[in-house]
A and B are shown apart, each in its own frame.
Chain A
Amino acid sequence: MAPILTSSETVQFINLLSAFLVGTGFGFALEQGGFSSSRKLAGMFYGYDATVLKVFFTAAIVAMIGSRILSSMGLLDMDLVFHNQYYIGPAIVGGGIMGVGFVMGGFCPGTGISAAAIGKIDAFVFLGGGAVGAFLFAETYPLIQEFLVSGNRGPVKLSESLGLSDTEFIFLVTVIAVGMFWLAEQTEKKFARPDITKEY
């Protein structure tokens, strides 16, 4: 029963090889989707290109439905799959800081890596800034430590908080996403910038 490799029992070499292979697929999918172009990514915030929304939500839904099917067939034990902990303040403030970084830099860390991989110099500079950001975080850690561990609700699931079964919740998210896809298609036509979206 999956997950197949659990880090404590697996030989490090196999574990790291699996990480490398997952990363290869990740980087390939991001670049193919157009995430190596900062002007295409930034289009999300100005309405002329909603690729980010389409790729992101399609991926989330595929993974949600896929894992739900595998776990209901008894092939994947979701209890052994990592669930991130909810720290209310840090999630909101951290997310807010990330959003500012997104409209400034035009990348997120993953898309920055895929863009650097095809030679985008602005992506290398973005990642250099990212390394400085990680360093600044480490150095300022003692100052914000108290805030960082505040408001911990544990690895809670939104489906449970809403009183829905996982299947009902996934269905709801899918319906909302399809509505957003429709809206995105309309918005892209309204704010179209073929000079930007066709070029890269």
Chain B
Amino acid sequence: MISIHLEIMRRKPYMNPYLAGVLLGLVLLGAMVISGRGLGASGGIKYCVVSIVGAVSQEHVAGADYYSKYYQGGKKPINNWLVFQILGMVVGGFISGAVSGRLTWKIEKSPKISKPRRLILAFLGGVFFVYGGQMARGCTSGAALSGMAVLTTAGFVTMIAIFGSGFLFAWFFRKNWI
């Protein structure tokens, strides 16, 4: 019993990146075959936020075109494909961390920066990423990866814009990482 426990807790190295890519590609292909969709993450976050705003103020939702379209015909935005997909992502990520001994509460950061600095930048990064993702109608997974898989121009352009901008602005944030 104890030996099994130790086996589970021992940290394992990450999967070979090309092998992990094949696995991710097969999951994406699976999504296309099963439901004709790609993968997505920021969309699920949006549906959660729309649900919270609706729960807080129905008036606000009814008064704004952006929100009201998610409630048309008595629909509940929380019962959305993308929401259930991100619930699955949490479970899948947890299983992977558990079998590889990587489950730990931790703030990952460069030793050169403080924890508050790391958390503030993480928060701002999230704000920027999802805002931009809504603008581009999808993030790295929903617009770039899933788009590229079906060869769309939108997929390739979004991918180049994300990584191009990342390289362009990397210099300004270098002290946080290297």
CB within 8 Å of B: which residues of A? 2-7, 12, 15-34, 36-40, 42-46, 48, 51, 54-64, 66-67, 70, 76, 78, 80-88, 90-123, 125-138, 141-142, 144, 148, 153, 155-159, 161, 166, 169-170, 173, 181, 193, 196, 200
| Contact yes or no, B138 A107, CB < 8 A | no
Per DSSP, are chain A's interface residues mostly helix, strand or loop, or mixed? helix
The reply to whether A55 and B24 contact each other, CB–CB distance below 8 Å, is yes
Consensus secondary structure, chain B interface? helix
Number of interface residues of B (CB under 8 A): 124
Q: Which residues of chain B have a CB within 8 Å of any CB of chain A?
A: 14-15, 17-18, 20-42, 45-46, 48-50, 52-53, 64-67, 79, 81-97, 100, 102-110, 118-119, 121-170, 172-174, 176-178
For A20, what are the chain B residues with a Cβ–Cβ distance below 8 Å?
Answer: 84-85, 87-88, 91
A23 to B24, CA, bound (A): 11
Question: In the complex, are the beta carbons of B161 and A95 less than 8 A apart?
Answer: yes
Within the assembled complex, what's the spacing in Å between the Cα atoms of A161 and B157?
Answer: 13
Residues of B within 8 A of A37 (CB): 108
Bound complex: CA A127 to CA B93 (Å): 15
B17 touches A54 (CB 8 A): yes
CB distance from A94 to the nearest CB of B (A): 3
Q: Are A70 and B33 in contact (CB under 8 A)?
A: yes
Q: Which of A58, A121, A122 contacts B21 (CB 8 A)?
A: A58
